[in-house]
Homo-oligomer: A and B are copies of this chain.
Amino acid sequence: MANKTHNTEEKILEAAKTVFHRKGFEGARMQEIADEAGINKALLHYYFRTKENLFDAVFKAAFREIFTKLFMTIDADVPLEKKLKNLISEYIGFFQKNSYIPGFILTEMNQNPEKIISVFKSAPVSPSMVFERMKEFMYDEKLEKTDVRELFINILALCIFPVVARPMLQNIFDFSDEQYDQFIEKRKKTIPQLIMNTIRKK
């Protein structure tokens, strides 16, 4: 028998991703997800018994995606300045392609903070180890003593905020889609400069 399972499950997750992102958990309708996946409601429940199950699967996937990527790049073994450039440029690029993820996570965070914590516990990389590694790096390269947490949060903020707040900012700036993409593209260069300014010994 053909293994349609894999394919369909994939299709469902993809559809759920879209709809949950568009409407949030409460706003999303199982029927809408089924339609989006090109299947029917009964089959949807056949695969993921409940709405919660389905949501959890989607949420955890998004969460893993965003954090493994981040922590992996921080952990890579290249000189700091180079690493910073890579990190920021890759991360922004990732968000350009998966712009739904940060907003999705932030939204859910507002409504179910507990869920975040539970998902964190199952994460493949430990944040505290990443911070330790960042610290060592900065010590080795004789950089300005900075709170690594503050560094971490600054990078994240500068990369993620423009993506999350895009609908608003694009309107404030009166930018077309292309203009805004270009604007973000430019930031792949300016953000590393800005960050290096703050940690380079004067």
Report which A residues bind B (CB closer than 8 A). Answer: 21-27, 103-107, 109-111, 113, 116-117, 120, 127-128, 147, 149-150, 153-154, 156-158, 160-162, 164-165, 167-169, 171-174, 183, 186-187, 190, 193-194, 197-198
Chain B residue nearest to A172 in the complex (CB): B127
- Known contacts A149-B183, A153-B162, A154-B194: A107-B107 contact under CB 8 Å: yes
- Residue from the list B26, B106, B157, B164 in contact with A158, Cβ < 8 A: B157
- Residue from the list B24, B109, B168, B197 in contact with A27, Cβ < 8 A: B24
Chain B residue nearest to A105 in the complex (CB): B168
Specify which chain B residues have a CB less than 8 angstroms from the CB of A197 in the assembled complex: 194, 197-198
Specify which chain B residues have a CB less than 8 angstroms from the CB of A27 in the assembled complex: 24-26, 111
Instruction: Tell me the interface secondary structure of chain A in the complex.
Output: helix
Specify which chain B residues have a CB less than 8 angstroms from the CB of A161 in the assembled complex: 153, 156-157, 160-161
Q: Could you tell me if B116 and A168 are in contact, using CB atoms closer than 8 angstroms?
A: yes
